[in-house]
Structure 1
Amino acid sequence: MVYGYIRVSSDKQTVENQRFEIIKFCQKEKLTINGWIEETISGTKNYDKRKLGRLLKKVTKGDLIIYSELSRLGRNLFMIMEILNICMTKECRVWTIKDNYRLGDDIQSKVLAFAFGLSAEIERNLISQRTKEALARKKAEGIRLGRPLGKAKKVKLTGKEETIKKLLKEKVSKSEIARKLKVDRGTLSKFIKNYIEK
């Protein structure tokens, strides 16, 4: 399968330029696009929260994804490297038009993929280490970690107080009320205790 991937950051940008580039390139290379993936989303948004993430789950060995340029994958180097590493692991090819980048099954691609994977792993470890250090420092400073104590301003059943009061007045069981409101009975009981029986 050959996929054309197009991403723009805002509605003001047009996908047509990227589509034109990909179509022109495919005509030259005698390729047919089997599926288009278009999205209007920031490149800083993690790939698994984008249509790109769904495409990466779907691709199989020998598939080809064509982009206008590498920056369409993401806005930071490590994200791009992680995406390319996934493609390499799945033996899916990645071609870009402007950068003339080819990720395939040759030795150069394999060396690049190894470097990408290693760099991404080092970055994840560094982030994890920095997070642990920051949490340890806050704890040492006496800052309480975790969810703040007290009641949350908004919970799942917020706005349903009157309905619950009415049903309780009508002697409807908590199990039945929970079913009607599509929540767990424990969630309902906790809500009644914290927000209704004040």
Structure 2
Amino acid sequence: MIYGYIRVSTDKQTVENQRFEINQFCEKQDMLVSKWIEETISGTKNVEDRKLGTLLKKMKKGDILVCSELSRLGRSLLMIMGVLNECMNRDIEVWTIKDNYRLGSDISSKVLAFAFGLSAEIERNLISQRTKEALARKKSEGIVLGRPKGSKSSKTKLTGQEKKIKELLDKNVSYSAIGRILGVHRLTVTSFVKNNRELLE
């Protein structure tokens, strides 16, 4: 079987981009995804606590796991290697689109997977270190970081959707229905309308 795996870290991120990439890829390969597995969870969570862990337990020899990139499997070298090692030991292939990898049980796949995981880990550490250094430098220069205490961001999940919301309100669509259409909670719509009445009139 061919499994399409999609993971996003927060509900603000869309799964549709990953789904589109996987579908486009499979069409070119003349393949058809047998089952989709989607989850909204941090890649730092243990594999066993994710849908990915449940999927790996039921996958069989010859199955293929397709994802947009290896980083969808985890956020650390050890986690990614753990998933790949289990798949390779059980003759399960892992195909990635952006990285363009076809990882199986052969030695070259194992070496490639290790090299990728190691470089990704080093890059994340470097980015983290650069960010910390930049913040420390700004702080030492007396620059106030972040929003002033007690202030709120002017941007929300619905920022930029004013026109759509106004059209729905003009059609007497309920806040609950608008929330379902835009993928947010009813209270989020209520709050947005309350704080942006001048834009929606």
Structure 1 length as normaliser, TM-score? 0.55
Residue matched to 1:97:
97
Identity score, percent: 68
Once the two structures are TM-superposed, the CA of residue 108 in structure 1 deviates from its matched residue by: 1.3
Runs of 4+ in 1 over 6 A off after TM superposition: none
Once the two structures are TM-superposed, the CA of residue 109 in structure 1 deviates from its matched residue by: 2.3
Letter in 1 for 2:34: N
CA distance in 1, matches of 2:22, 2:8: 14
Once the two structures are TM-superposed, the CA of residue 106 in structure 1 deviates from its matched residue by: 3.3
Once the two structures are TM-superposed, the CA of residue 88 in structure 1 deviates from its matched residue by: 0.6
* Residue 87 (1) aligns with residue 87 (2): yes
Larger radius of gyration: 1
Residues 4, 33 of structure 2: 8 Å contact kept: yes
Residue matched to 1:31:
31
Partner SS for 2:86: helix
CA distance in 2, matches of 1:48, 1:30: 32
Residue matched to 1:53:
53
CA distance in 1, matches of 2:47, 2:105: 23
CA distance in 1, matches of 2:98, 2:43: 18
> What is the CA deviation profile of residues 60-84 of structure 1, one whole-angstrom value per residue up to 9, with x for unaligned ones?
1000000000110001011000000
Residue matched to 2:5:
5
Q: How does 1:1-198 map to 2 (within 5 A)?
A: 1-109=1-109
Structure 2 length as normaliser, TM-score? 0.55
CA distance in 2, matches of 1:46, 1:79: 8
Unaligned 5+ runs, structure 2: 119-201
Unaligned 5+ runs, structure 1: 120-198
Two-structure CA RMSD over aligned residues (Å): 1.8
Count of paired positions: 116
